[in-house]
Amino acid sequence: MRSLWAAVMLTGIYSFLGASWMLILDAPDVAFTEAAVGAGLSTVLMLSTLALTGTTMKKQATSTLLPLVVVSLTGLALIYGTADMPYFGDPTAPAHQHLMPEFMADTVPSIHEAAGHHAETGVGVDNVVTAVLASYRGYDTLGETVVILTAGIGVLLILGGEKRFSSFFADLSLRDVPSMRHRAILRVATKLLIPYILLFALYVQFHGDYGPGGGFQAGVIFAAALILYGLVFGLRATLKVAPPSVVETLVALGVLLYAGTGVATMLLGGNFLDYSVLEHPLLPGVLPHGQHLGILLVELGVGITVAAVMITIFFAFVGREHPR
């Protein structure tokens, strides 16, 4: 296939199909994220890249024998390895017997209970995936947020270099990427849609305890709203709404909020990210306490950093000068 544009589109479709398959396999959170990220964000980034590097490729002249051999060997090795695997859907597989029952019952004898603190057993959140993600394995999620941060810093380093930082973004506002302002239907439809998208992002952010959702998906949706605005109304308008210096500050703040919650729990006497010590209600009736407060704060941290980094990456790609 010589058209890269078509290849990118097909990849997006593959990713979307993958997301649908994940939904059928009882993983709605993952399906949600894969659809937003794989089918949505990756495709946008690849298209931005193609806009800068060209959309077709030359005919392949390289030999395909060695890669075929390597790939076949790897594939056969994997298939050989499936011989001893538990059958598809087998409820007696080790993976379902060992840690899962306690996660579902949400009654893990936790360390603070042993230490004599007043403890609610478990996390007490309906979406068990969120409970595991944000509390039991919350530290991994901090790592994930740091990965996003690293990508943002990486893209800033790679694409932000040649010009001075302030003038790089100042140049952006001077150079008006052709907007679609004159297309009335797009303009009106976007203006109607964007508030709902933002509202949906907020809903997903805070509803992750009770249904599929959470900080990461919310951050991507939020960024998508801004990217849509940028595509239709032009970069200059978007820069007024989201000035790069503010966005860069938010990138840092999200991670600091997450890690800061952990530091707070340490100062209050628990281990890092042990939310059960966050017992004293800050605003009774408004904010929850304990595990719920911890999860709220860290998910917010994730959402902020994810949205900010996605917007920063978008600015970096779109603001790049077209090679003449």
Of 244-303, binders to other proteins (CB under 8 A) are 248-249, 251-253, 255-256, 259-260, 262-263, 266, 270-276
Give the x/- contact pattern for other proteins in 187-226, rule: CB under 8 A.
Answer: -----------------------xxx---x----------
**Contact (Cβ atoms closer than 8 angstroms) between residue 273 and residue 139:** yes
Tell me whether residue 68 or residue 282 sits nearer to other proteins (CB atom): 68
The DSSP code for 209 is T
Window contacting other proteins (CB under 8 A); options: 66-74, 184-192, 232-240, 282-290: 66-74
Q: Considering the complex, what minimum distance in angstroms separates the CB of residue 55 from other proteins?
A: 9
The yes or no reply on residue 11 touching other proteins (CB under 8 A) is yes
Burial of residue 207 (CB within 10 Å: 0-12, 13-18, 19+) is middle
**Contact (Cβ atoms closer than 8 angstroms) between residue 234 and residue 176:** yes
Tell me whether residue 88 or residue 285 sits nearer to other proteins (CB atom): 88
Report the DSSP beta bridge partners of residue 269: none
Residues in binding contact with other proteins, number by CB under 8 A: 138
Q: Kindly report the CA angle at 247 between 244 and 253, in degrees rounded to 5? A: 145
The yes or no reply on residue 307 touching other proteins (CB under 8 A) is no
In angstroms, the Cα distances linking 37 to 4, 137, 223, 300, 310 are 20, 22, 11, 18, 10
Q: Backbone phi, then psi, for 179, in 5-degree steps?
A: -100, 170
The yes or no reply on residue 21 touching other proteins (CB under 8 A) is yes
Q: Considering the complex, what minimum distance in angstroms separates the CB of residue 201 from other proteins?
A: 17
The yes or no reply on residue 174 touching other proteins (CB under 8 A) is no
The yes or no reply on residue 46 touching other proteins (CB under 8 A) is yes
Q: Considering the complex, what minimum distance in angstroms separates the CB of residue 223 from other proteins?
A: 12
Kindly tell me which residue out of 120, 146, 197, 203 binds other proteins, with binding defined by CB under 8 A.
146
Burial of residue 206 (CB within 10 Å: 0-12, 13-18, 19+) is middle
